[in-house]
Amino acid sequence: MKKLAAIGLSCAVFIATPSFAQTPKQLDDYRWQVGSYKCTGGTAGEGAHPFTATYTLTREFDGGVYVERYVEAKTAQHQQPFSIIHLYTYDSKNQLYVRNGVDGNGGRHEHTSTGWSNGVWIWDAGGFRIPVTRGENQFSFKAELLKDGNWVLLASGVCKK
């Protein structure tokens, strides 16, 4: 019984203790994308075909975390739609934006970014990357795989508010 009381007290102290860290100001660099979007795009290479998707980004936990949901629609041409949920924040220690998530197939994803470079934000997963280009009330993206020293396009799209 004493063990349960100690565990309960520890949990209560943890929950009641305010966070001493400030929300990183760098997170404001991505707030432009908050909202809901309709996306159109296509896959590349052999078996290329179009797809549609919905994309939403919210800022939660007092502004310290973004929650991203990307869901492709299943169609006759697009029989294996992709869906994913990501959480992103800023790692002040390593000075990187971090994005972690899981997809609808149970896959786990980890990406980092240094932020904007020449108008492009690149989420890098080491051999796989997602460049994002900002537009007015829209953004475009690519999914690219590093193969034999070259970036090969897997898919691309445009998402509009």
Give the pLDDT band of residue 71 (cuts 50, 70, 90): very high
- Give the global pTM: 0.84
Q: Which domains are delineated in the chain? A: 20-160 (2.40.128.20)
Q: Which of residues 134 and 1 earns the better pLDDT score?
A: 134
Beta bridge mates, 72: 53
CB distance 66 to 88 below 8 Å: yes
Average the pLDDT over 80-94 and give the result.
95
Give the pLDDT band of residue 75 (cuts 50, 70, 90): very high
Q: Which of residues 32 and 12 earns the better pLDDT score?
A: 32
39 pLDDT higher than 60: yes
Give the Cα separation of 98 and 33 in Å (integer): 16
> Which has the closest alpha carbon to 26: 68, 67, 63, 69?
63
User: What pLDDT, in 10s, does the model give residues 101-132?
Assistant: 999 999 999 999 999 999 999 999 999 999 99
Give the pLDDT band of residue 2 (cuts 50, 70, 90): low
Give the Cα separation of 57 and 40 in Å (integer): 17
Residue 22, pLDDT score: 83
Average the pLDDT over 18-28 and give the result.
78
Q: Kindly compute the dihedral angle of the four CA atoms of residues 70, 108, 30, 146, in this order, to the nearest 10 degrees.
A: -100
49 pLDDT higher than 80: yes
